[in-house]
Amino acid sequence: MDLKNEFEKLNEKFDELKAILTTQKEAQQTSELPPLLKIKEVCSLLGMTEQGLAKKRKKGEIRTVATGRRVYVERAEFERFLASLPTANKSNRPLKIKKK
């Protein structure tokens, strides 16, 4: 009887693990951004020009990957760069605008 209970517990754990792995796989497949972003895509997403992005690359603020003559930004690097950008309101409080 004990062996049967242990087997059932293992089976339940296996099902839980299978569900977690399936969820992770689906999340990877439905990711909105591809693993490598073209420079034009990054510029479009950030609302900046290619020259502006080139300055950020030169300063080392965003890293790129070159494959032959093409230059890309890895998705993880893009997300890191995006998170590093200053926001106008980090406290989530309404902004106070001073009138002159």
Q: How many Å apart are CA 72 and CA 39, to the nearest integer?
A: 6
Residues of the chain with pLDDT > 90, as a percent, come to 30
| Mean pLDDT, range 1-15, rounded to an integer | 79
- pLDDT for 58 equals 95
Assess whether pLDDT exceeds 60 at residue 3. Answer: yes
Q: How many Å apart are CA 57 and CA 85, to the nearest integer?
A: 14
Task: Indicate whether 24 and 64 sit together in one domain.
Answer: no
Task: Indicate whether 26 and 47 sit together in one domain.
Answer: no
Q: Number of structural domains, the chain?
A: 2
Residue 95 domain-assigned? no
* Tokens standing for residue 91: 């406290």
Residue 75 domain-assigned? yes
Instruction: Convert the pLDDT of each residue in 23-68 to its tens digit.
Output: 766 655 545 667 899 999 999 888 899 999 999 999 999 999 998 9
- Does the predicted model carry a pTM greater than 0.75? no
- The parent domain of residue 53 ranges over 36-84
Beta carbons within 8 Å of 12's beta carbon, 6+ residues apart = none
Residue 57 domain-assigned? yes
Q: How many CB atoms lie within 10 A of CB 48?
A: 14
Task: Indicate whether 25 and 43 sit together in one domain.
Answer: no
Sheet holding 36-38, edge to edge: 36-38, 70-74, 65-67
Task: Indicate whether 45 and 79 sit together in one domain.
Answer: yes
